[in-house]
Homo-oligomer: A and B are copies of this chain.
């Protein structure tokens, strides 16, 4: 299995993963640990919020994005996340949503300082079962390059 190196991804390539079912229990449990605002943990308070119901924390959305990134085939040989930009949530994530990830390569380049690595910049979308975007960002990831073939003995 030699796929998932920088060389295996071209600009414009799209890869998908999912679905990820977001249960009400998981929304509340995650938010109780990291983001216990009423509209993430309390159904009645959530009904009175601008969202008119329970919604997942942005931290939960980001975590689901990272989870699904690990499921993309071929698995990216990621060495480190370098940064994330333009993170937006055009629609809320709600209990029962089934989320799909789409990752499209925007740019790839070889690292100057580490010639065995390169950088992939990708446009990320998480969409729900109604094909509404619930999370998007641009990710920059340090990826391993394919090792050169060994000289035969």
Contact = CB atoms under 8 A, between A and B. Distances in A.
A109 interface: no
A20 to B, nearest CB: 10
Contact of A58 (B36, B50, B81, B85): B81
A38 B44 CA distance: 40
Contacts of A82: 88
Interface string A131-143: 0000001000010
Nearest to A60: B63
A108 to B, nearest CB: 19
Q: What is the oligomeric copy number?
A: 2
Contacts of A47: none
Interface stretch (A5-13, A64-72, A95-103): A64-72
Contacts of A79: 49-50
Interface string A87-125: 111000000000000000000000000000000000000
Interface string A43-56: 00000011100000
Given A34-B63, A37-B78, A62-B62, 15 more contacts: A33-B67, A34-B66, A34-B67, A35-B70, A37-B70, A58-B81, A59-B59, A63-B63, A81-B89, A83-B86, A83-B87, A84-B84, A84-B87, A85-B86, A87-B87
